[in-house]
């Protein structure tokens, strides 16, 4: 009986850990909405962070990603072929310059081009 509990606990832990990794489609979509709102209307964006519309939306999206999108992407696509699913971010046209991701080769901290 003790071994069965251990196996069940390890299986549950593996399942839960797999749901924490993935493309995070819902959360990154909220992040894209946040970025677009900041580029278009920085003052309104600040208000929506203070109120806290964006933080609540991020939390709800994180929960949805954990239980639905990340679990689906991991268990039905990525776990079996060993290749992760990418997320393509919404392309926002800069109105007052742009910062680059630090993951980019030319990305520099606090540089606005």
What is the residue extent of each domain of the chain? 25-79
- Split at pLDDT 50, 70, 90, the class of 50 is very high
Tens of pLDDT, residues 6-26: 777 776 666 666 677 889 999
The pTM score is: 0.78
Unique residue bearing structure tokens 């606090």: 110
For the chain, give the number of residues: 113
Integer angstrom CA distances of residue 105 from 72, 88, 109: 32, 18, 12
CA angle 76, 103, 15 (to 5 degrees): 25
Tens of pLDDT, residues 34-49: 999 999 999 999 999 9
112, β-bridge pairs: 99
């Amino acid at each position: 009986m003790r071994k069965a509990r251990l196996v069940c606990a390890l299986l549950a832990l593996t399942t839960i850990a797999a749901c924490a990794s993935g493309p995070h489609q819902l959360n990154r979509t909220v992040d894209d909405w946040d970025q677009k709102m900041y580029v278009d209307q920085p003052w309104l964006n600040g208000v929506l962070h203070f109120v806290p519309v964006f933080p609540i939306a991020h939390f709800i999206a994180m929960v949805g990603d954990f239980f639905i999108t990340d679990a689906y992407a991991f268990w039905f696509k990525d776990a079996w072929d060993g290749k992760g699913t990418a997320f393509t971010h919404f392309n926002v046209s800069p109105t007052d310059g742009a910062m680059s991701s630090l993951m980019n080769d030319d990305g520099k901290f606090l540089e606005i081009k």
